[in-house]
Amino acid sequence: MPTRITINRAPVLTLWSAVVAARMGYGWDEALTFGKAVAGVNAQAKGRALGIYGPPKGAKQAAGEPKKIGLGEEFWVEVVGRPVPVKRTAQGVRAVVGDQPLDAQSVERYLRSKLKESYDAVRAAMERLAESFSPQELTEIAYSLYETFRPRLPAGRRGWGVAGEMDLELIRIARQAERRLDGV
């Protein structure tokens, strides 16, 4: 298994966000949809920063812990520092785009198609990293951890959809790097 993977950032952020949501206590299917929504919200934020999109529609944001809510009720969950809209469906809590719940199996297929044979190794490395922090600690530092291991874009290449190189070893050592930064 190679330790370096050429991939876009969106699937890496999607998987990392799903792993973080699972560590926060959500089921894997719920977490997958949250991950896909985080990547979308992140893309929207980048688009706004570049002047491509206007400001987001206002919405109240809830704490990032699982909530007991009624069927069809919408609320917001913060995952990896990004608020995502969610609602309870017959299948469980799901992130929504517009008013349509995301499909967990579709997100899983997307991740496997992008990460290919590296999917299991990348997911396992991310899960080990997430488990090395308490859910509260992870909530506070999840995005900065992502920044340490996300794919590095080639020099002179910028823009959406540009593939970069991700080194799995950076995921494995991110815990030690975070501890050094904190002086632990």
88-94's contacts with Cβ under 8 Å and 24+ in sequence apart are 91/29, 92/27, 92/29, 92/30, 93/26, 93/30, 93/66, 93/69, 94/29, 94/30, 94/33
> Per-residue pLDDT tens for 51-92?
555 655 544 444 444 445 455 678 899 999 999 999 999 999
DSSP code string of 124-142: HHHHHHHHTS-HHHHHHHH
Rounded Cα distance between 101 and 89, Å, is 8
Rounded CA Rg of the chain: 16
Mean predicted lDDT score pLDDT of the chain: 83
Q: How confident is the model at residue 24 (pLDDT cuts 50, 70, 90)?
A: very high
Q: Which of 11-25, 90-104, 153-167 has the lowest mean pLDDT?
A: 153-167
User: Does residue 39 carry a pLDDT above 70?
Assistant: yes
